Amino acid sequence: MVTVNNRASLQPMVNKATTEFEPCWNTLRGALIDIHNKVVSALSFEHLYRASYKITLRKNGRLLYDKVIEFETQWFREHVLPRIDDLVANNLAGLSLLQIATSSSHERRETGEKFLRGIRERWQDHNTAMNMAADILLYMERTGPEAAVHPSIYAATIGLFRDQVLKYTLDGGQDASDHPFNIFDALISVMLDLINMERDGDVIDRNLLRQTTGMLEQLYDNDDELENEKLYLTGFEPRFLQASCLFYRGECEKLIREADASVWLRHTRRRLEEERVRCMTALPFMTTDKILEVVKTELISAKLDEFMALEGTGLKSMIDNDRLEDLTILYSLISMVDKSKSLLKTLLQNRVMELGLEIEQTLKNTDFSTAAVATDEPTEGAEKSKAQPLNAAAQQTAAAIKWVDDVLHLKDRFDNLLAVCFNQDLVLQSAVTKSFADFINMFNRCSEFVSLFIDDSLKRGLKGKSDQDVELVLQKAIVLLRYLADRDLFERYYQKHLARRLLHAKSDIHIEKELVRRMKTEMGNHFTSKFEGMFKDMEVSKDQSENYREHIRSLGDVDVKKIDLSIHVLTTNYWPPEVMGRGALQEEGTRECIFPPPIKRLQESFFTYYLKNRSGRVLTWVASAGSADIKCVFPKVAGKETGPLSKDRRYELNVSTYGMVVLLLFNDLGEGESLSFDEIQAKTNIPTGDLIKTLASLSIPPKCRVLTKEPLNKAVRPTDTFSFNSQFVSKSIKIKAPVLSSTSKVEGDDERKETERKNYQTRAHVVDAAIVRIMKQRKELSHTQLTTEVIGQLSGRFKPEISLIKKRIEDLLAREYLERIDGDVSAYRYLA
Amino acid sequence: MNGINGHTPEGKYITLISNDGFEYVVLREATEISPVLRTMLRSPFSEARTGRCHFPEIRAAVLEKVAEYFHYWFQNKDKDDVPDMIIPVEICLELLMAADFLGLDAKPEPTDREVNRGDNLAMIAARME
């Protein structure tokens, strides 16, 4: 038995065999010819395999390898190249390379495809043949010592196609003699030409293109067969990308000349899709990203800003005309090239700002015109469809509501854009929101206007409206509220407006509470604490009025029963100072109103009752905030026998508390007597402003003119005198004298300055408190840190100005809450 | 390498024929282990057309063992700890050469499981010797 240590020492199986190289090679050579001629079905694989096996066992593998290469090279020369020459005849290469302008694209395509087909056929034949050759040389491949050093026989023989055919230099014909080129160049030119033709709308043989690129994918730049050195990657793809780059650059320039962003958007989208499809049908898939990148760079990024800025079709026009589809495409394109979408973001923001400022501008113009109408012809100053004339204040209110409506409308539009076109993109959403906040806060009366809008909606708008409408209003209110930076200012206005609504029962208390509840979730507890206090006061007061009535009834006091008291006990801190009669503008407001004796008694009675359960409290009567129902009798006028004046007339007048106080004065007056303005003021001590209003409501509107004024005109002046209007007639029994002060209206410039001044004062206190709070906790802080922390703490309420903070710090230093740290000017220490 | 297998009859079995005319019918799938047989049955030569593979230099006793190995491999290819095949000592050397000829000395392909899934025929034959 033979000991076997190593395979190489084995003898071939058939010992008798005197296997020489030549016979075996001849067998294989014959087989190769048969393979090329495609007559193999009769050949035995085992037979051929055994031939290469034997040669390899004899250590002649290398020789066999070389022989095969040599045979194939020769085969190319003798059988393949002549056919290639045939193919290149007819000036084909010249045609495709030089792109002769006179040749139609149809001709070019025909010849180009013919050329590609020829190459493809040669390649397929060769590839098939070399597969079979590699199959029968399997043993040599597998075991020959050459296997490790040389490229596989398949790779080598396939590589021959590259060397022999693709690099076959053509003499170039008469046209291109100055620069020689080879089949490969011609091939690429034809392919690129075909692709460009397809881009221009021709129908080409995609399958042919696919197979040609497939060939380039199977071939390598050299025999090392590195994955990234495929002929496709080294030879074709770069040139393809470069050619595409030029193509799309030209196209983009053409599009910008046509200056229609809408066309551009659709065109670009189509191009992207086309290239994607091309990479699935005609080109290798791996090129997809690269070619898409080219399209994105050349068609989208390159001129994006110019397209967006186009007059008439650019971004501005898309937004203004609600061209949602355009915007949708735009968004999808921009998302591809720029994840941060900075350009779109900036442009959107600018547009929001522009539109926002436009609203303000329109408002100013509208304001001006209606105000002018109002002063010139007060009776015709009607706005919109309202029949009754609006006074200047009401028009201002209407302007405020218009502003809010416009802002909400704009917001709706952009919300819609974000949802429909921009995929609720967070970046854009926050950018748009920021712009909204910016322009809203740039409008210095935004806080007041928002509060007025809510006031108007709740007072008038909600009567007879469904829950859904109410919900809508609430939502709008909250949306606007979110944008406001100066929330403390809003709080001030809202408090004022809410107070009026509550005291005059102008709105539905449930809706009021719901709105405040939402504000609470949105802004936090401290923001709504005053409002809630107001609600609470209202509730408690209702009970108290009830109980007081009960109390009086139990006393059985008949005299006092004549006046029915309904009282609101208001806690000073919750209610706005204006309502509490402590408005800084009304300097006389501190003076107590002189009530007529019956009222005085009633007040005392209630106060006694009130103090039963709560000692040590002070009640201040705020006449300016109340109202009264008066039953009055107009005696029949002497001398009148017919008509309403001939009998006594009883009416119920609803007037303000001041109105009641004034009217009671006239009870004591005799027939024909009158009171001058000064007399009335002296007897009642009502502040001038309020008295003017009160007298105006009683003596000017025809519906409730229970006083006659001398002289008879449309305005009350301190020089006027008043007398009882015994001729007063009204169709209705209940008459409401319009209480002017209950209409919330836009503040005048002086008032607003005043409000701002007060707000500034409050802010100073708030900033003080914040600084002390922070310093108490941190003990020592630098100026910058302290400023930052203060701004952070107050951001929910308002944006404190740096100068204010600085001032407050200095103030606190002076009051010795803080001290400067020695040697460090810009750092502070807290002094306990 | 892509074999051109356009006209391969897709029978379930193929026939191995020894130099002395014995025929062994084996499951086509089971011969997958041999790269040579695999190529043979895919390349467009006569074997692929007929499904009959002549081995004029392998005698029946050896070819029988090869056929047995194909099935042994096929049955055990997914199992762990398979028993060795019994190989008569007198044919070991010839079997070893046949295994070499048929490419049955290949290492397990890296995609296969790491655990011992039976040695290849050449290793078994060499051990028996």
pLDDT digits (tens, 9 = 90+) for B53-85: 999 989 999 999 999 988 888 888 777 777 778
Amino acid (one-letter) located at A131:
N
- The pLDDT tens digits for A609-653 are 888 777 777 777 777 777 777 777 777 776 666 666 677 777 887
Residue labelled with tokens 């035995």: A44
Q: Which of A159-163, A306-310, A450-454, A634-638 has the lowest mean pLDDT?
A: A634-638
What pLDDT score does A735 carry?
77
A627: phi then psi, degrees, rounded to nearest 5: -145, 165
pLDDT value, residue B17: 92
Q: Is A714 helix (H, G, I), strand (E, B) or coil?
A: coil
**A392: confidence class by pLDDT, cuts 50, 70, 90:** low
| Closest Cβ opposite residue B1 in set A7, A13, A131 | A131
Domains and CATH numbers, chain B: 13-128 (3.30.710.10)
Residue A172 tokens, joined: 């170039």
Distance between CA atoms of A728 and A731, rounded to whole angstroms? 10
pLDDT digits (tens, 9 = 90+) for A793-807: 887 777 778 888 888
Query: Given an 8 Å threshold on Cβ–Cβ distance, is B103 in contact with A138?
Result: yes
Cis amide prior to A596 (ω within 30 degrees): no
Give the pairing type, strands A649-656 and A627-634: antiparallel
pLDDT at B10 over 80: no
d(CA A404, CA A468): 20
Q: How confident is the model at residue A557 (pLDDT cuts 50, 70, 90)?
A: low
Rounded average pLDDT over A315-338:
83
**How many Å is the maximal CA-CA distance in chain B?**
42
What's the pLDDT score for residue A347?
84
Partner-chain contact B1 A46, CB within 8 Å: no
Q: Are A584 and A751 in contact (CB under 8 A)?
A: no
**pTM of the complete model beyond 0.80:** no
Query: Which sign does the torsion angle of CA A214, A219, A224, A230 carry?
Result: negative
Given this model, what pLDDT does residue A697 score?
A: 78
- C-alpha A219/C-alpha A37 separation (Å) is 23
- Coil, strand or helix at B116: coil
Q: How far is A433 from chain B (nearest CA, A)?
A: 56
Cβ atoms of A684 and A668 within 8 Å: the answer is no
Average pLDDT, chain A: 76
Q: Is the confidence at residue A114, as pLDDT, over 60? A: yes
DSSP annotation of A619 reads -
A36 lies within 8 A of chain B by CB? no
Rounded Cα gap, residues A108 and A261, in angstroms: 33
H or E element, residue B67: helix B60-76
User: What amino acid occupies position A608?
Assistant: T
Segment A383-399 mean pLDDT = 55
What's the Cα-to-Cα distance from A304 to each of A29, A49, A87, A338, A494, rounded to whole Å?
Answer: 64, 64, 46, 11, 46
B126 closest CB neighbour out of A4, A135, A143: A4
Residue A224 is which amino acid?
Answer: D
User: Among B11, B12, B6, B10, which residue's Cα sits nearest to residue B43?
Assistant: B6
The structure tokens 């695999």 sit at B38
Asked whether the beta carbons of residue B4 and residue A128 sit closer than 8 angstroms, the reply is yes
- Rounded to 5 degrees, what are φ and ψ at B16? -100, 135
Task: Return the sign of the alpha-carbon dihedral for residues A569, A572, A576, A579.
Answer: positive
Query: Per the CB < 8 Å rule, is A132 touching B43?
Result: yes
Give the distance, in angstroms, between the CA of residue A189 and the centroid of all CA atoms in the same chain.
Answer: 48
- pLDDT band for position B23 (50/70/90)? very high
Rounded (5°) CA angle A436-A441-A443:
105
Range list of H helices, A259-391: 261-281, 288-295, 304-308, 315-320, 324-337, 342-376
Question: Has residue A97 got a pLDDT over 60?
Answer: no
**Helix and strand counts by DSSP (H, E) for chain B:** 5, 3
**Residue A166, pLDDT above cutoff 60:** yes
- Measured between beta carbons, the chain A residues lying within 8 angstroms of B96 are 4, 10
What number is the average pLDDT over the span A476-483?
82
For residue A146, give Cα distances in angstroms to A58, A225, A288, A748: 14, 16, 39, 101
| CA proximity to A577, closest of A343, A739, A406, A755 | A755
Residue A626 backbone dihedrals phi, psi, to 5 degrees? -100, 180
Neighbours of A774 (CB within 10 A): 17
Beta-ladder partners of A5:
none
Q: Which of A751, A676, A750, A687 is nearest to A717 (CA)?
A: A676
pLDDT winner (highest mean) among A264-273, A356-365, A612-621: A264-273
Q: What confidence category does residue B25 fall into, taking pLDDT thresholds of 50, 70 and 90? A: very high
Task: Return the minimum-mean-pLDDT range out of A146-155, A216-225, A484-493, A627-636.
Answer: A146-155
Average pLDDT of the residues in A479-488: 80
CB-count burial class (<10 Å; 0-12, 13-18, 19+) for A500: buried
C-beta neighbour count of A568 within 10 angstroms: 18
Which chain B residues are within 8 Å of A2, Cβ to Cβ?
93
| CA dist list (Å): A759 to A426, A486, A488, A805, A810 | 35, 10, 8, 15, 20
pLDDT at A277 over 60: yes
Comparing A125-129, A194-198, A267-271, A746-750, the range with the smallest average pLDDT is A746-750
Q: Which of residues 134-153 of A touch B (CB under 8 A)?
A: 134-136, 138-139, 142-143
Cα separations in angstroms, A606 against A224, A549, A559, A631, B94: 109, 10, 14, 22, 128
User: What percentage of chain A's residues is helix, strand, coil (to nearest 5)?
Assistant: 65, 5, 30
Nearest CA among A417, A512, A504, A410 for reference residue A458: A512
B24 pLDDT band, cuts 50/70/90, is very high
User: Which tokens sit at A554?
Assistant: 């139990």
Mean pLDDT of A204-218: 85
Please name the residue that has the structure tokens 């109105």: A659
In this predicted model, which residue has the larger pLDDT, A741 or A433?
Answer: A433
Residue in chain B lying closest to A125 (CA): B4
Q: pLDDT tens digits for A532-553?
A: 888 888 888 888 888 887 877 7
The pLDDT, as a whole number, for residue B112 is: 43
Share of chain A above pLDDT 90, in %: 0
> What contacts A218, CB < 8 A, 6 or more positions away?
A127, A158, A230
Residues 470-529, chain A, touching B (beta carbon < 8 A): none
